[in-house]
Amino acid sequence: MSGAGLPEGVARRSLPLVPLVLLVLALVDLRVEFQLLADHFTFTALGAAVQSHPLAVSVLVLQPSLWIHYRRRRS
């Protein structure tokens, strides 16, 4: 009995947790890099951030695809 007392279909429209958790973890991992880039942006600093955090950057780049995949899977 999921969604008791809620209108029909609300439980299916809930946010998928996997892309949301991955997004938060990637942003936490890149927090210092974002602060450095905000203080003084250079392409060298951007390249170093991408090179030193490839998993976090790939999660950020693939976020739209993850949202589409998990929304389609739940419905």
Backbone angles phi, psi at 2, to 5 degrees: -90, 140
Q: Is residue 72's pLDDT more than 70?
A: yes
Q: Does 50 score more than 60 pLDDT?
A: yes
Amino acid at 10: V
| CA–centroid distance for 25 within its chain | 8
Task: Specify the pLDDT at position 29.
Answer: 96
pTM, 2 dp:
0.73
Average pLDDT, the chain: 86
Helix (H) or strand (E) holding 33: helix 31-39
Per the structure block, which two tokens stand in for 42?
């250079």
Per residue in 11-26, pLDDT tens? 556 778 999 999 999 9
Q: Which helix (H) or strand (E) holds 26?
A: helix 17-29
What pLDDT shows up at residue 9? 53
